[in-house]
């Protein structure tokens, strides 16, 4: 079984993001970039399925700038066999990414596509669902467990207040939730080996995909600054403040 894993380059989750002075977006100058954490979980799941002997080949795909090669090399170091970068200069909206991934699916014919449930920069939570709609594949979103059983894929989904188990016909699209697995770190020998693994670069034009955006970001604002806290001297003072100042009790 061939698995395609979608990997997005995003601002590292440890970075405290700054909004640009003109409110046009987030300032990315000299900011550490990494693989989206939910995509790390997607790569890990594909690698575990390969280790179980269920999967034979893992192809990592990123849609992004030339620098997204770094995240693809990380995916290769973690266990992907080869990588494809669809090179675009500007950030695409989810539909354009989903259409691009659909073109890769048509070319590669994977039985399973694993994506993160959400990219931590745009917080869209829609690329996997859109890809499932465009391909007509079954979808198991917010997966906390994935198991291949014959020609079916059983997915336990994290839903509000509980878990739901679905059985999907293959080919299928899965999006990863936080508790699916704990991604491994890439070892130094594997980082070295990853440099020699194949990484192909294509353009949306060559794939025949129109990437014109249907949405435009009008404004990005930082959250309002919070006032400093105070230290109270006793529980009585705390209760008094909660009652008379905050008026919450
Ligand atoms: P989103 O719908 O934007 O929150 O992203 C959900 C998931 O879709 C991510 O975790 C990735 O697996 C995939 N994805 C989104 N954008 C890209 C991209 N530019 N390149 C590769 N994968 C992407």
Contact 197, 2 (CB under 8 A): no
Å from CA of 222 to ligand 1 middle: 23
Q: Assign 167 to helix, strand or coil.
A: strand
Ligand 1 contacts CB of residue 94 (under 6 A) = yes
Average pLDDT over residues 110-138: 97
Residue for token pair 């970068």: 85
Q: What is the pLDDT of residues 127-171, one digit of tens each?
A: 999 999 999 999 999 999 999 998 899 999 999 999 999 999 999
Average pLDDT over residues 177-182: 97
Q: Which helix (H) or strand (E) holds 94?
A: helix 94-108
Q: Which two tokens stand for residue 151?
A: 């020609």
Å from CA of 115 to ligand 1 middle: 7
Band the pLDDT of 100: cuts 50, 70, 90. very high
Contact 220, 23 (CB under 8 A): yes
Å from CA of 160 to ligand 1 middle: 22
Percent of the chain with pLDDT over 70: 100
Contact 85, 77 (CB under 8 A): no
Q: How far separated are the first and last CA of the chain, in Å rounded? A: 59
User: Which residue among 9, 33, 36 has the greatest number of ligand 1 atoms within 8 angstroms of its CB, and so is best to mutate?
Assistant: 36
Whole-model pTM: value is 0.91
Residues of 162-180 as b/e, b for ≥16 C-beta within 10 angstroms? eeeebebeebbbbbbbeeb
- 2-244 architecture in CATH? 3-Layer(aba) Sandwich (3.40)
Ligand 1 contacts CB of residue 118 (under 6 A) = yes
Ligand 1: atom nearest CA of 92 is 19
Q: Is the pLDDT of residue 90 over 90?
A: no
Q: Domains of the chain: which residue ranges?
A: 2-244
Rounded CA-CA distance 39/99 in Å is 18
Query: Is 144 buried (19+), middle (13-18) or exposed (0-12) by CB count in 10 A?
Result: middle
Residue for token pair 């179980």: 52
Rounded CA-CA distance 7/167 in Å is 25
Query: Is 30 buried (19+), middle (13-18) or exposed (0-12) by CB count in 10 A?
Result: exposed
Query: Is 234 buried (19+), middle (13-18) or exposed (0-12) by CB count in 10 A?
Result: exposed
Which protein residue's CA is at the shortest distance from atom 6 of ligand 1?
A: 118
Q: What is the pLDDT of residues 182-214, one digit of tens each?
A: 999 999 999 999 999 999 999 999 999 998 888
Average pLDDT over residues 102-115: 98
Q: What is the pLDDT of residues 49-69, one digit of tens each?
A: 999 999 999 999 999 999 999
Rounded CA-CA distance 129/97 in Å is 12
């Amino acid at each position: 079984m061939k698995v395609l894993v979608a990997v997005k380059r995003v601002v590292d989750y440890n970075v405290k993001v700054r909004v640009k002075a003109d409110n046009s977006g987030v300032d990315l100058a000299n900011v550490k970039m990494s693989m989206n954490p939910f995509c790390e979980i997607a790569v890990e799941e594909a690698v575990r399925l390969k280790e179980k002997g269920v999967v034979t080949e893992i192809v990592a795909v990123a849609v992004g700038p030339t620098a997204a090669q770094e995240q693809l090399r990380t995916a290769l170091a973690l266990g992907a066999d080869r990588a494809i970068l669809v090179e675009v200069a500007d950030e695409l909206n989810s539909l354009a990414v989903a259409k691009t991934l659909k073109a890769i699916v048509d070319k590669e014919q994977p039985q399973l596509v694993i994506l993160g449930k959400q990219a931590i920069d745009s917080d869209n939570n829609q690329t996997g669902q859109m890809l499932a709609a465009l391909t007509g594949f079954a979808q198991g979103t917010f997966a906390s467990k994935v198991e291949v059983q014959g020609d079916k894929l059983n997915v336990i989904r994290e839903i509000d207040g509980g878990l739901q188990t679905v059985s999907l016909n293959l080919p299928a699209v899965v999006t990863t939730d936080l508790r699916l697995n704990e991604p491994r770190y890439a070892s130094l020998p594997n980082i070295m080996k990853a440099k020699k693994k194949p990484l192909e670069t294509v353009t949306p034009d060559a794939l025949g995909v129109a990437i014109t955006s249907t949405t435009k970001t009008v404004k990005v604002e930082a959250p309002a600054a919070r006032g400093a806290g105070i230290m109270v001297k006793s529980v009585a003072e705390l209760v008094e403040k909660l009652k008379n100042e905050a008026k919450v009790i």
